Amino acid sequence: MIDQGLVHRIESQNSYVACACPEHAHGFQLLICRHCGYVEELHLDEISAQLAALAKSRGFNVERQTIELQGLCQDCRTASE
């Protein structure tokens, strides 16, 4: 299912989340709430492209990108105030 783009692996948690945009064929980034587990998928193609270009300029062939940003979602931040 990962190969078809239907799910993403959350590397830091060794878990999976359904892809919010399976028609989107480019890179993705994940916002992950460390308190409630909320996950939001981002599609900042320019970041993925910049990282791939930088790697290529150094002779590195990127096969897969995993970008996870961990913190607190708005609901959890509000609840803790």
Q: Residue 18: inside a domain, yes or no? A: no
- 3-state DSSP assignment of residue 16: strand
**For position 4, what pLDDT does the model report?**
58
Q: Residue 31: inside a domain, yes or no? A: yes
CATH number at residue 39: 3.30.1490.190
Q: Residue 19: inside a domain, yes or no? A: no
**For position 57, what pLDDT does the model report?**
98
Task: Kindly report, residue by residue over 3-50, the tens digit of the pLDDT.
Answer: 656 777 788 887 878 877 766 666 789 999 999 999 999 989 899 999
- Count the alpha carbons within 13 Å of 79 in the hemisphere toward its beta carbon: 7
Q: Residue 35: inside a domain, yes or no? A: yes
32 forms beta bridges with 39, 70
Q: Residue 51: inside a domain, yes or no? A: yes
**For position 27, what pLDDT does the model report?**
78
What is the pTM (predicted TM-score) of this model? 0.77
Q: Residue 2: inside a domain, yes or no? A: no
**For position 2, what pLDDT does the model report?**
56
Q: Residue 20: inside a domain, yes or no? A: no
Q: How many structural domains compose the chain?
A: 1
What's the domain range around 71? 26-80
